[in-house]
Amino acid sequence: MADLTAIMNWTFIEEIPVPADLEAMLIEGEEARVAYKTVRDTAVITNKRLLIADNQGITGKKIEIYTIPFKSIDMYSSENGGTFDMNAELELWTRSGRFKLNVNKKVDIRKLDRILAEAIL
C-alpha cells in the first residue's frame, strides 16, 4: 500500500465555520459535521467523506479538491499530542494508500475521532 503522506500533507490548525463554496459541493443526504483551517487550505468532514480544498499557486486562486470517501478507509488511528508534541496525529489507511493528518493541539482530536467513528463504523 502506498504512503501518500508526501503529497497529502495537511495540518488542521483550528475549527472554522464550513465555507459556503465547499458546502455547495455536498450531495443530497450529505451533511457537513466540522471544518478546519490549514495553512492555506480548508478541510470539511461530512457524514460521508473528508473533503480538502488545496489552494495552489501564488495567488491561491487555483484550487484542487481532494475527496476521501469514508467507505474507502480500511483502518485509522488517532494520537493525541503529548506534553512536548506540537501536534496530534490522525493516520488513515485507505484503498489508495496510507497518510497522516497533523492536528494542532487547539483542535479537539477526540471530537474528530468520534465523527470518523460515526461515519465509518
Q: Where are the domains of the chain?
A: 8-120
What dotted CATH number matches 8-120?
Answer: 2.30.29.50
Residues 56-99 pLDDT 10s:
766 667 788 889 999 999 999 988 866 566 788 889 998 888 88
Query: Do 82 and 89 contact (CB within 8 A), yes or no?
Result: no
Q: Which helix (H) or strand (E) holds 104?
A: strand 98-104
Q: What's the pLDDT score for residue 85?
A: 64
Q: How confident is the model at residue 11 (pLDDT cuts 50, 70, 90)?
A: confident
Q: Which helix (H) or strand (E) holds 109?
A: helix 109-120
Over residues 29-39, mean pLDDT: 91
